[in-house]
């Protein structure tokens, strides 16, 4: 699944039953993947720019994967601090990925993070009392050709 406006994408999918087809594919063990909007659609919640220039929470996603997600963690200056703020304010704990980093799940468990870049990073981002804790996830750099 490519990028774009997550809210619009999900609305169109739901009108045409694509969400149900994706659920059937998921249940059948088909590999599902995506970047940007196509990354966050699989989670329960995320941070999005679907509603205008401000980054906002979106909670009515497909819910195949637990928690929340944040793409573009390194390339958009406002993403990291806003994601921390949203987690602190009640968005479910989640994962954040820099551009070029993929998060490989088996069922609903994060198995591995991989990167097309040698320096790509991913993080678990969790509420810790009145603060937010960011923990690095080990990332395996993929061989370049």
CA distance 101 to 123: 11
Q: Please report the pLDDT score of residue 36 as a whole number.
A: 97
Local confidence pLDDT in tens for the 145 residues of the chain: 999 999 999 999 999 999 999 999 999 999 999 999 999 999 999 999 999 999 999 999 999 999 999 999 999 999 999 999 999 999 999 999 999 999 999 999 999 999 999 999 999 999 999 999 999 999 999 977 5
What pLDDT does 58 receive?
98
C-alpha distance from residue 114 to each of 36, 43, 120 (Å): 16, 18, 8
pLDDT for position 2: 93
92 with 65: CB under 8 angstroms? Answer: no
Q: Across 78-121, where does the E strand assignment appear?
A: 94-97, 101-106, 109-115
Summary count for the chain: helices (H), strands (E): 4, 9
Residues involved in catalysis: 36, 72
Q: CB-side exposure of 141: number of CA atoms within 13 Å?
A: 7
Q: Check residue 145 and give its pLDDT.
A: 56
């Amino acid at each position: 699944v490519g990028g774009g406006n997550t809210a619009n994408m999900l609305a169109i999918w739901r009108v045409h039953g694509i969400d149900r087809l994706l659920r059937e594919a998921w249940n059948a063990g088909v590999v599902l993947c995506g970047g940007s909007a196509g990354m966050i659609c699989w989670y329960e919640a995320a941070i999005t720019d679907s509603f205008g220039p401000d980054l906002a929470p979106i909670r009515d996603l497909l819910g195949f994967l637990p928690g929340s997600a944040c793409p573009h963690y390194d390339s958009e200056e406002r993403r990291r601090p806003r994601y921390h703020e949203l987690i602190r304010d009640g968005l479910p704990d989640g994962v954040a990925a820099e551009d070029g980093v993929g998060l490989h799940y088996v069922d609903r468990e994060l198995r591995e993070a991989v990167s097309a870049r040698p320096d790509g990073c991913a993080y678990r981002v969790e509420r810790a009392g009145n603060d937010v804790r960011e923990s690095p996830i080990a990332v395996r750099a993929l061989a370049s050709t």
